[in-house]
Amino acid sequence: MKAVVLGSGGWGTALSRVLCDNGHTTCLWSRNAAKAAEMEQSRENPLLQGVRLPDSLHITGDLACLEGADLVVCASPSFAVRETGKKAAPYLRSETVLVSVSKGIERDTNLRMSQILQEVTGNICKVVALSGPSHAEEVIIRMPTGCVSACPDRAAARFVQDAFMNDYFRVYTSDDIVGVELAAALKNVIALSCGICTGLGFQDNTKALLMTRAMAEITRLGERLGGTRRTFGGLAGMGDLIVTCTSLHSRNNRAGILIGQGKDVQEAMEEVGAVVEGYYAAESVYQLSRREGVEMPICRCAYEVLYHGKQVKDVVSELMTRAKKDELLETAWL
């Protein structure tokens, strides 16, 4: 099978290696032709230092590599998915399966990544979301990892499962693409919030409280938008939330730590030096929650800190002194 991965960041590179390990003819495309040439020569991605890329992996800046591809993986940052999808569209065929592995919600439109790809490609082919608790730094060195391949078309989800699954990369299928993509995007806001807690000096109790109650918020919004509750308790939901909130591999977590330590939001993101998806998702989550009439106090407070300069200490006090609730009653989720 011919596979093309669009996006030479850490995640796109790691998935390229998985596909090579599975015997697929694989090409990794970079929008930066000079970077592609350098990686082709060095057989290494600077973002994943010390790992030699397979000799069978072709790396290029030429989109003609898409011609005849059976599987196309869009691994661009969420803000670039629309542009990448438009560039890829002329090369796609009805039998191509397009896989979205980007985690985010588009600013202003509030569209999920698969919706953007369907829109810009004219819905010419099936779009599948692949998501789960998966750091590129661990997948590239073949650490056991699990993800979910989600699509309403079960055959397409199984096609992606078969393409990626091996003895270190386990893939489950789901028809709940809405829940899988929302969980992937929303957890970044919580990871950023967890990092802020760490930066403030809060410890395990606080982070466990934050993660658990935030998952209640995420699930509530996800169900309102058409997702299935069980998805949010699975790999794409709780699994991804745990790994993103607790690891320094997470850019969202690292940015949050810097903010908690007192750095300005923009300064923190610049210091991390890569896309902090949680920052952009926070605004979209706030917009969605208001549009849908879903109360999300943790996500709202994160938005106010990130976009309106609200003091974190005031946010903590506000959240901890809210009205009493019963955890197990539906009304407690408000």
Catalytic residues: 187
Whether the CB-CB separation of 190 and 245 falls below 8 Å is answered with yes
| DSSP helix/strand/coil, 326 | coil
Distance of alpha carbon 244 from alpha carbon 16, whole angstroms: 22
Do the beta carbons of residue 232 and residue 319 sit within 8 Å? no
Helices (H), the chain: 10-21, 33-42, 81-88, 113-120, 136-139, 154-164, 177-200, 204-224, 229-232, 240-246, 251-260, 265-272, 277-292, 297-308, 312-320
Bridge pairing between strands 71-74 and 2-6: parallel
Distance CA 136, CA 249 (A): 9
Distance, CA of 267 to CA of 255 (rounded, Å): 9
